[in-house]
Amino acid sequence: MSNLYRFGVSLERQLIDDFDKHIKSLNYKNRSEAIRDLIRDALVKKQWLCDNEVAGAITMNYDHHKRELVNKLLDIQHDYQNIIISSQHVHIDHHNCLEIIAVKGKARNVETLASKLKSQKGVKHLSLSMSTTGKSLK
Ligand code: NI
């Protein structure tokens, strides 16, 4: 027996028309997968809000020539080695470094790590991609 559950939803015509246009532009073949992704996004957002164990990536660009900055960023990362799975350093050009740090741990710790890195002078941009370990999602 399938574990799929089917349900009906009533929506205003304009809303479903807009939704269909939107998901078509995102390359969805049908509404079901688009709605599954909306539900998963909501559940992952809640995992972060409730300080559950999460996974994600910190991407930051910083000035390679600020020597103290490089040491400071490394010190911070060593303080959070329990939640850092891996990191990749890319020399973008003579001045700029791009670092991608994969993380897994309690949401609050991940956010604190990201904010400690971001607030350093010389970090030009940092974004936190809030994803999931996937354990409780289908
Ligand atoms: Ni570099």
Mind listing the pLDDT tens digit for each residue in 35-92? Answer: 999 999 999 999 999 999 999 999 999 998 987 999 999 999 999 999 999 999 999 9
Distance 70 CA to ligand 1 centre (A): 9
36 and 58 inside one domain: no
pLDDT given at position 1: 57
pLDDT band at 7 (very low <50, low <70, confident <90, very high): very high
Averaged over 90-117, what is the pLDDT? 97
Distance 65 CA to ligand 1 centre (A): 9
Distance 89 CA to ligand 1 centre (A): 6
**84 is in which domain, residue-wise?**
53-131
Which residues make Cβ contacts (< 8 Å) with residue 21, sequence separation at least 6?
Answer: none
Distance 72 CA to ligand 1 centre (A): 15
Measured distance CA(45)–CA(132) in Å, rounded: 9
pLDDT band at 2 (very low <50, low <70, confident <90, very high): confident
71 and 122 inside one domain: yes
57 and 77 inside one domain: yes
71 and 99 inside one domain: yes
82 and 98 inside one domain: yes
For tokens 């003579």, the residue is: 94
Distance 114 CA to ligand 1 centre (A): 19
pLDDT given at position 108: 98
Could you tell me which residues are beta bridge partners of residue 60?
A: 99, 126
The total number of structural domains in the chain stands at: 2
pLDDT in tens, 54-67: 999 999 999 989 87
Residue 1 lies in a domain: no
pLDDT band at 137 (very low <50, low <70, confident <90, very high): confident
pLDDT at 34 over 80: yes
Q: In what order do the strands lie in the sheet with 123-131?
A: 84-91, 96-106, 53-63, 123-131
Residue 3 lies in a domain: no
Distance 52 CA to ligand 1 centre (A): 33
59 and 125 inside one domain: yes
pTM over 0.85: yes
41 and 91 inside one domain: no
Q: Tell me which amino acid residue 11 is.
A: L
pLDDT given at position 98: 98
pLDDT given at position 66: 87
Residue 6 lies in a domain: no
The runs of H, that is alpha helices, within the chain are 13-25, 31-49, 67-79, 107-118
Distance 85 CA to ligand 1 centre (A): 20
Residue 42 lies in a domain: yes
3-state helix, strand, coil in the chain (%, to 5): 40, 30, 30
Per-residue burial over 2-39, b if 16 or more Cβ lie within 10 Å, else e, is eeeeeeeeeeeeeeeeeeeeebeeeebeeeeebeeeee
64 and 101 inside one domain: yes
35 and 79 inside one domain: no
What is each CA distance from 11 to 14, 17, 24, 34, 132, in whole angstroms? 8, 10, 18, 16, 30
